Amino acid sequence: MFYLIYSSKAVPQISENELRDIISAAERNNRENNITGLLIFYNGTFIQMLEGDESAVMETFDKIEEDERHTAVLKLFSGNEEKRHFPDWKMALRVVDEATFNKIDAYETLEEGDRFLNQIKDDHIGLRMLRYFYDMKK
């Protein structure tokens, strides 16, 4: 199973309705392409994991890079896993407030910048953040 985790900045004027539109379109498109994932939105930053067939995930990522609601799109890492991390979610959105974000043990690492990009796959800050919010929903 191919996965890709990226981060991006939202355009400053993005509204809650636009976030819901992003999720609605993602759910529809991901269902058609057998992609699952989770999108976190915190303080103007998106962090997302997409998983599925490599060509479908890369095509989706290419569309995200072209989307005018995203800037500074950065592919953090990608690879293959034996199974999906988010098998039940075609796409889920978590809009995170400061108090919730500070509870994540990954917060300090994220603030350290470059370390965010150089972590081992199984303990990567991006994946830990995504799993934190997935586990809250269970």
Q: Using pLDDT thresholds of 50, 70 and 90, give the confidence band for residue 93.
A: low
Q: What's the CA gap between 106 and 104, in Å, rounded?
A: 5
Is 5 within 8 Å of 48 (Cβ atoms)?
Answer: yes
**DSSP E strands: which ranges in 16-113?**
36-42, 45-52, 70-80, 92-96
Is 68 part of any domain? yes
Of 13, 74, 66, 8, which Cα lies nearest the Cα of 41?
Answer: 8
Is 111 part of any domain? yes
Amino acid at the residue 137: K
Is 121 part of any domain? yes
30 token code pair = 């991901």
Is 109 part of any domain? yes
Please state the domain count of the chain. Answer: 1
Residue 42: the pLDDT is: 77
Is 138 part of any domain? no
CATH number of the domain residue 104 falls in: 3.30.70.100
Looking at the chain, the number of H-run helices and the number of E-run strands are 5, 5
Is 69 part of any domain? yes
Is 118 part of any domain? yes
Q: What's the CA gap between 85 and 76, in Å, rounded?
A: 17
Q: Is residue 1 over pLDDT 60?
A: yes
Q: Using pLDDT thresholds of 50, 70 and 90, give the confidence band for residue 44.
A: confident
**Position of tokens 């759910």?**
27
Domain extent for 78: 2-126
Residue 112: the pLDDT is: 41
Is 107 part of any domain? yes
